[in-house]
Chains A and B, each alone.
Chain A
Amino acid sequence: DVKVTQSSRYLVKRTGEKVFLECVQDMDHENMFWYRQDPGLGLRLIYFSYDVKMKEKGDIPEGYSVSREKKERFSLILESASTNQTSMYLCASSWTGKKGYTFGSGTRLTVV
């Protein structure tokens, strides 16, 4: 089974800190995605990448950036964390749209 691993399950950071969320997949998937999940809002797409060094904005990219230097790794960066970025962050990867995604277990980030 393909595995998508997120480096931290729980993270607490201070307002203004630069935060890195790491995601690694082990099945050579082309596509990787970052979502945030909030109660009542479902999953909202932050950024995605179809190839190494390639990125595209999703629906809510403000306050975030990403990096994909290697095919298996997709990092989400909060340039200056704010309390409204407290959320569950989910990483996913896929081959194509037909197969759906494989998700990581999520990182619950709290910004204080």
Chain B
Amino acid sequence: AQSVTQLDSQVPVFEEAPVELRCNYSSSVSVYLFWYVQYPNQGLQLLLKYLSGSTLVKGINGFEAEFNKSQTSFHLRKPSVHISDTAEYFCAVSTWGNQGGKLIFGQGTELSVKP
């Protein structure tokens, strides 16, 4: 079975500072990896995904993530955050060949950007 652990439940950071949101997964088979963002009172929006190929993945709003197979990690980074990045971020995993692509989510990380 697959599982996802987001190592920080809350990350406070000042505006224009860099940020890293950490995600580790466990799976005995190859995986697809995703990061989603949820702004207050909204549904989830896809930030970026790793399917195969280059381990550095770029997404929307200046975010990027790096897939590290040996460490089973998929950390999300942004070099300079804005107030508008305040939201909850979810890491998710799906396995290859999984019919319908059932996603398993982490517990979420609340990013709070302060002026």
Give the complex CA separation of A1 and B86 in angstroms: 24
The answer to whether residues A100 and B99 also contact, given A40-B107, A42-B107 and a CB cut-off of 8 A, is no
Complexed CA–CA distance, A37 and B107 (Å)? 9
Chain B residues lying within 8 Å of A102, measured Cβ to Cβ, are: 46
Whether the Cβ atoms of A48 and B102 lie closer than 8 Å is: yes
Which positions 74-99 of chain B face chain A at CB distance < 8 Å? 90, 92, 94-96, 98-99
| Cβ-based interface call for B14 (8 A) | no
- On whether the beta carbons of A96 and B100 are closer than 8 Å, the reply is yes
Assembled-state Cα–Cα distance A105/B101 (Å): 20
Q: Which residues of B contact A43 (CB under 8 A)?
A: 44, 90, 105
What are 6 A-B residue pairs whose CB atoms fall within 8 Å in the complex?
A42-B107, A43-B90, A97-B95, A98-B51, A100-B36, A101-B101
Contacts of A40 in B (CB 8 A): 9, 107-108
**Seed contacts A98-B32, A103-B36; 20 additional CB < 8 Å A-B pairs:** A42-B105, A43-B44, A45-B104, A48-B100, A50-B99, A50-B100, A90-B44, A94-B100, A97-B94, A97-B95, A97-B98, A97-B100, A97-B101, A98-B101, A99-B101, A100-B101, A100-B103, A101-B101, A103-B43, A103-B45
A residues in contact (CB < 8 Å) with B: 4, 30-31, 33, 35, 40-45, 48, 50, 58, 90, 92, 94, 96-106
Q: A43-B90, A100-B46, A106-B42 in contact; A31/B101 too (CB < 8 A)?
A: yes
